[in-house]
Amino acid sequence: MNSLVSTVVYFVILFSQQAVAGDFYTYDYIEYLSEDDFLDNYDGSEFLNDPSLSAVTTEFGPTVLSTTQLPIRSEVVVSEKIPWSSWWYPKREDWMFEDASAGGKSVLSKYDLIRQIKYQKNPRGPRPGSAAEYERAHYNPQALSWEGLCDAWSIASIAHPEPKRPVTYVIDGKSFSFNIGELKALLLKTYEAVDDSHFKFYGQKFSGDNHGWIYPDIFPDQFHRFVEVILFQQRRPFIMDHDAGIQIWNTPVYKANYVIDRVPNDPNAIFVRTWIYTAEPTRTNDVNYHGTYEIVREYDYVLQGKRNSQGQLVIESGYWVKGPDGVDSRRSHPDYLIWVPPTSQIVRKSWNPEIDINLVDEILSKSY
């Protein structure tokens, strides 16, 4: 059987609550999906040749570890850069461009006024248009409930300093006040259309087309190796879509730890519980928060492999399982992972042609 097929032809592990030696849990195997069922649903020539399925180990090589001292409890590793939290500005919301009924200006209305005054003081080039009007013209109140600027926030929180205090911008005798939530909205608009050619995506990205799509991907062996290299070795944060389905919930990951233990009666398999710590979006009533809201997600899986000449276990495949505490990673696991390039390689861009990144940075400069 092809190793990729054997990865997907995985089994549900049902754990009892009786611990055995080594603090592992007894379990029974129940077949979850047969090879015939799998091949009935997918064209093997299509999915087996998808390089995204094994992109991590192709680039970094497999996980290799000694199993003589199980269980292994890792330290809690933290990236050198700590991402910050922000509201994710759903596309259904109109507050970014609609002025308040009491006369208060929206963040983009204030931005537009500043831009117009700057042009009047130094009229070079064509007269600037309105960023607020552009957003209003492209506003879709029927946008999907999960659509917003989580991609832009995840990148910005890793690549850019966090706006931490309100700013009053004074120009030509006029004052414009921006709170933290408004400043983050401006900043995220400059990251919403970033060229992703320098980013690296690992795992299939589910786009709603079930043909050729493999739900267990990203596979646990790829996930584990990515966390090992990027976070444990390089101390770099990364981005993870924590929803395996069609919805995209990208969040920045900056901390992790794991426990590895034996699988009874299978010397070439290990059971892993990994805890991933992410910065999460702020709440609707706390958009002016600065700092990091932390959420911890547990992922449970079995890794399988073969022994090398030194007796180490070289991981070749893996499958998500339901763990001893009821965490069901078969259904809830990451969809894909994103390596974020150095800030110098990130080219900021907005879908809104009236967003001037230099002006946004000028407004933000006093917030750090």
Radius of gyration from C-alpha coordinates of the chain: 24
Query: Could you tell me which of 314, 328, 335 has the C-alpha nearest to residue 244?
Result: 335
Query: Could you tell me which of 315, 93, 65, 345 has the C-alpha nearest to residue 196?
Result: 345
Residue 178's pLDDT is: 97
What DSSP line would sit under 258-326, residue for residue?
Answer: EEEEEETTEEEEEEEEEEEEEEEPPPTT-TT--S-EEEEEEEEEEEEEEE-TTS-EEEEEEEE-B-TTS
- According to DSSP, the residues that pair with 297 across neighbouring strands are 276
Residue 101's pLDDT is: 64
Percentage of the residues of the chain whose pLDDT score is greater than 90: 70
Averaged pLDDT of the chain: 85
Query: For the segment 49-105, what is each residue's pLDDT rounded down to a tens digit?
Result: 677 789 999 999 999 999 999 999 999 999 999 999 999 999 999 999 999 866 689
Q: Averaged over 178-194, what is the pLDDT?
A: 97
Site of tokens 């050729």: 212
Tokens describing residue 333: 């696991």
* pLDDT at position 20 over 80: no
Query: Could you tell me which of 274, 243, 220, 269 has the C-alpha nearest to residue 77?
Result: 274
What's the pTM? Answer: 0.85
Omega of the bond prior to 71 within 30 degrees of 0, cis?
yes
d(CA 33, CA 216): 11
Choose between 82 and 264: higher pLDDT: 82
What DSSP line would sit under 220-253, residue for residue?
Answer: HHHHHHHIIIIIIIT---EEEE--SSSS--EEEE
